Copies of this chain bind each other. A is one copy, B any other.
Amino acid sequence: MDAHSLDTLIQSLRRLPGVGVRSAQRMAFHLLQHDRAGAELLAHALQQAVAQIRHCTQCHTFTEAEICATCLDPRRDASKLCVVETPADQAALERTSAFRGRYFVLMGRLSPLEGIGPRDIGVQRLIARASDGVVQEVILATNFTAEGETTAHVIGQALKNRGLTVTRLARGVPAGSELEYVDLGTIAHALADRR
Contact = CB atoms under 8 A, between A and B. Distances in A.
A162 interface: no
A75 B165 CA distance: 78
Q: What is the size category of the interface that chain A forms with chain B?
A: 35 or more
A131 to B, nearest CB: 25
Interface of A: 1-6, 8-9, 11-13, 15-18, 23, 25-33, 35-36, 38-53, 61-65, 68-70, 86-88, 90-91, 107-108
A2, A28, A33 interface centre (most CB from chain B within 10 Å): A2
22 contacts: A1-B61, A1-B62, A1-B68, A1-B87, A2-B63, A3-B52, A3-B63, A5-B64, A12-B45, A12-B46, A13-B42, A15-B42, A16-B31, A17-B30, A18-B23, A18-B27, A29-B87, A31-B50, A32-B50, A33-B107, A40-B46, A43-B47
B12 A64 contact: no
A2 B48 contact: no
Contacts of A49: 3, 5-6, 8-9, 28, 31-32, 39
Contact of A42 (B5, B17, B46, B48): B46
Contacts of A25: 88
Contact of A53 (B32, B47, B62, B64): B32
Nearest to A90: B1
Contacts of A51: 5
